[in-house]
């Protein structure tokens, strides 16, 4: 039975069937086709609903990720601006400071005095 091909044989009333099986009249065939089409339509509708739900969920996920990314970029830009301002202030301090010569001279003088003191102390 598994290897048999489907057969369609139109019969008139009172005529013998050339094979054993189930005989469908036109309304039964129409109902079977209608049920099949209804199942296909229901399946397609379920696919559309699932697709819309997935699109909504993924859209929300993408929106959340975009918001996180925007927040991270904003924090990064603020940190860069703060660091640039600090660098600018430190450069101004380093370039505007006239006291650096006095610090250098004081350090050299202190080193010389300490060295002389240690030499006299050890003799």
Summarize pLDDT for 84-93 with one digit per residue, the tens.
999 999 888 8
88 part of a folded domain: yes
10 part of a folded domain: no
20 part of a folded domain: no
66 part of a folded domain: yes
103 part of a folded domain: yes
Contact (Cβ atoms closer than 8 angstroms) between residue 32 and residue 24: yes
Determine the structural domain holding residue 42 and report its residue range. Answer: 26-122
Q: Which segment, 64-68, 106-110, 116-120, is predicted with the most confidence on average?
A: 64-68
Task: Tell me how far apart the alpha carbons of residues 42 and 79 are, in angstroms, rounded to a whole number.
Answer: 55
Q: How many domains does the chain have?
A: 1
Q: How confident is the model at residue 25 (pLDDT cuts 50, 70, 90)?
A: confident
Q: Residue 23 in 3-state DSSP?
A: coil
84 part of a folded domain: yes
17 part of a folded domain: no
40 part of a folded domain: yes
Task: Tell me how far apart the alpha carbons of residues 109 and 116 are, in angstroms, rounded to a whole number.
Answer: 11
**Sign of the dihedral defined by the CA atoms of residues 49, 52, 58, 60, in that order:** negative
Entry pTM: 0.49
């Amino acid at each position: 039975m598994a290897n048999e091909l489907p057969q369609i044989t139109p019969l008139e009333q009172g005529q013998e069937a050339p094979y054993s099986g189930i005989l469908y009249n036109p309304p039964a065939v129409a109902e079977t086709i209608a049920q099949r089409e209804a199942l296909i339509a229901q399946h397609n509708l379920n696919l559309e609903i699932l697709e819309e739900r997935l699109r909504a969920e993924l859209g929300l996920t993408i929106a959340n990720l975009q918001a996180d990314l925007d927040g991270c970029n904003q924090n990064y830009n603020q940190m860069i601006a703060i660091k640039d301002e600090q660098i600018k202030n430190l450069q101004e301090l380093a370039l505007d400071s006239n006291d650096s010569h006095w610090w250098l001279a004081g350090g050299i003088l202190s080193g010389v005095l300490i060295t002389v003191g240690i030499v006299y102390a050890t003799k």
